[in-house]
A and B are shown apart, each in its own frame.
Chain A
């Protein structure tokens, strides 16, 4: 009995050490992004990606890729995202359920399971990689990455179907130890769930794991940087139309019509002398832990409920709402008496993808599985602790009873934790704007609270400017590439 208690204590200490480390580092990483220390954030994420366990490696590779993008090092970002893609592929070749990891998760909690990336993560991994390749002038690779981004959307649908099946099997298999269905019908527990998940459940994602920004970028690429073949133009038309239908974005609708006209031969070629601005603002929701009492079905009246830890989403409220883009007059005002045309009014970016909703949709789809697994885990651990303590009470040995109590308490305390892993550096929203390229090719970009930035557009017929603002006050990072 003492040995069992010691084993549980060791597991508890091991679990406690592992959990605190990830959360502390993720918090530190996020603080760096919010305060504009992008290079430091990139270094931290790179170090974590190098040292992370197999279970957490993908997460830090994603953070490292994104942080390097924000810091403006596209070559490093592309390398980190390539590593992340390899990790995703390696996990995809392995079975969906790894018994070794599941055994560890039963002893500890769901954060012991390998992080394989959500459907939304995988789509954005390829989308960011496409942007990296475009920034590096690698259009052939950008084409491949955009193809993969769209393919990932189809795969996410299949993965969700597999997850539903897996949850049903696990729930059925665990029925001898813990009745998940009975717990979910418990009024007190169901009420607590409604309370915890009301906000995220109210957010509706886009159909079938679609990220409209990825779809729009796919369409934009094939409209302006495709090979001009009927096949590429048709892809541009379909993607831009889908993005416009999902979001009502005027720029996407206009380009969809243009692609249709060119494909049909009624439009000479796609529009030129145009500049697109992509604005990534804020940070995506993070996960926080909420303790909910779950019912125990043990033949005792003393402990009918036990606390279990569930993840829930915390949405960020502070972010730059929009980006104002204005032209910059060449030099100062014209000579006295000369007629100077008034500058056109600033153009504001409009939302093309609500990442809060995309993350929430992923989260909501996975939630039944998370709830079922947490219930089984909590129920089984509580029943085991109860059995150990009951057995030690029968021994009538005070030392054994104390060891059993301390061991089971410490084990339960340290291993009761939710899986809080998430890609922290994603934006809250993707926004876009389309405007005629000014004759002097100069633009001013401003959000309000952060210092504005002025840029001169590179030579080209179709320019794309990318702006990132992780928080209201963090400095804007600006980059650009030419599509045509």
Chain B
């Protein structure tokens, strides 16, 4: 093999090698469009450090309601089952997500448990009721359709970073207010911490 042929071969090999690497890289980047069902509460769902995932809401709602039912908050209610209203749940994180998903899960669980009825008074109306009760004015104007308890909540987050490791803690904080005397009948916290490591080099 003469020198010119050798150079041509090397150039061709280099280009072929580069094309192969490029093809492999593109294949690696392509999306897998084959959809399948996964268990919403299972381990196969997509998990992100920087976002609230659906399983986070399942875990938080489940654990908080377990704690609420164990505390037996409604045992001294003026009627059985008591009527529970839902005030706004404040999303105080850095991510917009539909708080209604969380709220609906809680409502479903409460209804199924039979421990309370859900009031049609919602959001700002329930907020106002909670504030009135804490100011001592709600009890005086109590009517049949007035809820006995108001549940309110706030979700906050705390981010941390050490080198390439990122961590986010989402804290779900709920209060149940007794409308009769404006006291906080129950308070519960649930924290979900997620951690991930970002690689510095990749394709």
Contact = CB atoms under 8 A, between A and B. Distances in A.
Interface string A1-38: 10110010000000000000000000000000000000
Contacts of A98: 202-203
A1 B11 CA distance: 8
B96 A95 contact: no
B7 A1 contact: yes
B202 A140 contact: no
A316 interface: no
A89 B50 CA distance: 8
Given A1-B7, A99-B201, A140 B91 contact: yes
Given A1-B7, A4-B11, A158-B161, A143 B92 contact: yes
A421 interface: no
Contacts of A151: 94, 159
Nearest to A97: B201
Nearest to A166: B200
Q: Interface size bucket, A side?
A: 20 to 34
Interface in A108-165: 140-141, 143-145, 147-148, 151, 154-155, 158, 162
Contact of A99 (B15, B159, B203): B203
Given A151-B159, A158-B161, A143 B203 contact: no
A208 to B, nearest CB: 14
A148 B50 CA distance: 11
Contacts of B161: 155, 158
Contacts of B15: 3, 7
B201 A95 contact: yes
A94 B95 contact: no
A97 B50 contact: no
A229 to B, nearest CB: 9
A99 B202 contact: yes
A225 to B, nearest CB: 12
B25 interface: yes
B137 interface: no
B101 interface: no
Interface in B66-115: 88, 90-96, 99
Contacts of A158: 161
A144 B198 contact: no
Contacts of A302: none
B200 A95 contact: yes
B199 interface: yes
A95 B199 contact: yes
Contacts of B95: 144, 148
Nearest to B8: A3
A158 B160 CA distance: 11
Q: Is the interface of A mostly helix, strand, loop or mixed?
A: helix
A97 B94 contact: no
B94 A147 contact: yes
A155 B157 CA distance: 15
Contacts of A148: 94-95
A92 B91 contact: no
A100 interface: yes
A317 interface: no
Interface string B13-56: 00100000010010000000000000000000000101100000
Interface string B162-202: 00000000000000000000000000000000000011111
A447 B202 CA distance: 51
Contact of B11 (A3, A94, A95): A3
Given A95-B199, A98-B203, A154 B92 contact: no
Nearest to A151: B94
A187 to B, nearest CB: 35
A143 B200 contact: no
Nearest to B12: A3
A155 B160 CA distance: 10
A49 to B, nearest CB: 20
B91 A144 contact: yes
A92 B203 contact: no
Contact of A147 (B11, B92, B202): B92
Contacts of A89: 50-51
A194 interface: no
Contacts of B90: 140, 143, 227
A96 interface: yes
Given A100-B203, A151-B159, A154-B159, A93 B198 contact: yes
A288 B129 CA distance: 60
B93 A144 contact: yes
Contacts of B11: 3-4
A382 B15 CA distance: 21
Given A140-B88, A140-B99, A154-B159, 14 more contacts: A3-B15, A7-B15, A89-B50, A92-B198, A93-B50, A96-B198, A100-B203, A140-B90, A140-B91, A141-B96, A143-B91, A144-B91, A147-B157, A148-B94
Interface of B: 7-8, 11-12, 15, 22, 25, 48, 50-51, 88, 90-96, 99, 157, 159, 161, 198-203
12 contacts: A7-B15, A89-B50, A92-B198, A93-B50, A95-B198, A95-B200, A96-B200, A100-B203, A144-B92, A144-B96, A154-B159, A155-B161
